[in-house]
Structure 1
Amino acid sequence: MSIEKVRSYFRQWPGMEEKILEFPVSSATVAEAAKAVGTEERRIAKTLSFMLDDGPILVVAAGDAKIDNKKFKATFHKKATMLKVDELTELVGHPVGGVCPFGIKEGVKVYLDQSLRRFPTVFPACGSANSAIELTIPELETYSRFDQWVDVCKVPDEEQ
């Protein structure tokens, strides 16, 4: 099970596995995750998966952010093509609703979108459709083993 992979991944940092939250309800969507956690949707760190020429990548963005196709193409030199639901587990290592940057398959690059920097803490999933973890931005950088910060999203005007 994918959440077990994430638990195992977090064991390399003492005390981190215990920070994983599991809910009796779904947290598969941004709205469901915000309700389960008790926070605003924009503080949910959604993990989006795309295919580039050299393999799959993950972009972790704020819950209210949307991919800006022009920014994506300028950054990655390719049109934003999301992975299909049936490709997620095979290529990334997690099922839909639980995709996260922790415990992923070797070679999958992780990018953190600037939209996350607006918040002191965010809530990414932990490998299942009913889990999350609260992390500061520096913690997200550490535990996601991200490749770089990118600016590939747009956020609602009132939030900028």
Structure 2
Amino acid sequence: MPAEQTSLPSHAAVDRVIAALAAEGVEARVVWFDDAVTTAQLAADALGVEVGQIANSLVFTLDDEPILVLTSGGHRVDTEWLGEQLGGRIGRASKEVVKSATGQVIGGVAPLGHPAPVRTFVDTDLAAYDEVWAAAGHAKTVFPTTYDELVRITRGTPTAVEPR
């Protein structure tokens, strides 16, 4: 696993994530990789962890409102089913909507550090792991957290993202 590099590269979106973590009382332990880890499998391989421990940050629209779904890298979101559970229709957000809602680009979207709060849903499958990893605002960054902490810092709603 790469060493934590808290004093190395800087990036505005990562700096906002670090500040947001600090505001929630969390010490940021951002890991920078040499190459982008834009998929759950790439991140898991780089970290030497199970793919299910990766908290994918996926921006969708619920009707016309951007929402953030933090899902375990071990499976996909069933958008039709989840939309029914949430009382609306879920669609993929465009890269412009992702950037506008989060201040970050696809591949590095963090669960926090956004210009304004984004309604967030946290996959209950992530609770199976003692440690989960989320993007830190850039495609070359991640940070460790726990399921409970992830729910707390995002003010997210624990939610299944596919039928059981």
Task: Give the alignment's TM-score, normalised by structure 2.
Answer: 0.84
Identity between Structure 1 and Structure 2 (%): 25
What is the CA-CA distance between 1:103 and the residue it aligns to? 0.7
Cα distance change, pair 151–4 in 1 and its aligned pair in 2 (3 A): same
Which residue of 20, 24, 44 maps to 1:9?
20
Amino acid at match of 2:155: R
Are 1:152 and 2:150 an aligned pair?
Answer: no
Cα distance change, pair 15–152 in 1 and its aligned pair in 2 (3 A): closer
What is the CA-CA distance between 1:143 and the residue it aligns to? 1.9
RMSD of the alignment, in Å?
A: 1.9
Question: Which residue of the partner structure matches residue 130 of structure 2?
Answer: 120
Deviations 1:133-156 (A, max 9, x none): 11111211222222x1111226xx
Q: Could you list the runs of 5+ residues in structure 2 that have no partner in the other structure?
A: 1-11
Are 1:87 and 2:69 an aligned pair?
Answer: no
Q: Could you list the runs of 5+ residues in structure 1 that have no partner in the other structure?
A: 155-159
Map 1:67-146; keep pairs closer than 5 Å.
Answer: 67-146=77-156
CA contact (8 A) 2:77 2:162 kept: yes
CA contact (8 A) 1:121 1:134 kept: yes
CA contact (8 A) 2:66 2:97 kept: no
Q: Distance in 2 between matches of 1:43 and 1:58?
A: 17
What is the CA-CA distance between 1:14 and the residue it aligns to? 5.3
Q: Distance in 1 between matches of 2:139 and 2:64?
A: 28
Q: Secondary structure of the residue that 2:23 maps to in structure 1? A: coil
Q: Distance in 1 between matches of 2:144 and 2:101?
A: 25
Question: Which residue of the partner structure matches residue 157 of structure 1?
Answer: none
Question: Which residue of the partner structure matches residue 3 of structure 2?
Answer: none
What is the CA-CA distance between 1:54 and the residue it aligns to? 5.5
Amino acid at match of 1:103: G
CA contact (8 A) 1:2 1:95 kept: no
Which residue of 28, 46, 59 maps to 1:36?
46
Residues paired across the two proteins, number = 153
Which residue of 33, 41, 47 maps to 1:23?
33
Q: Secondary structure of the residue that 1:100 maps to in structure 2? A: coil
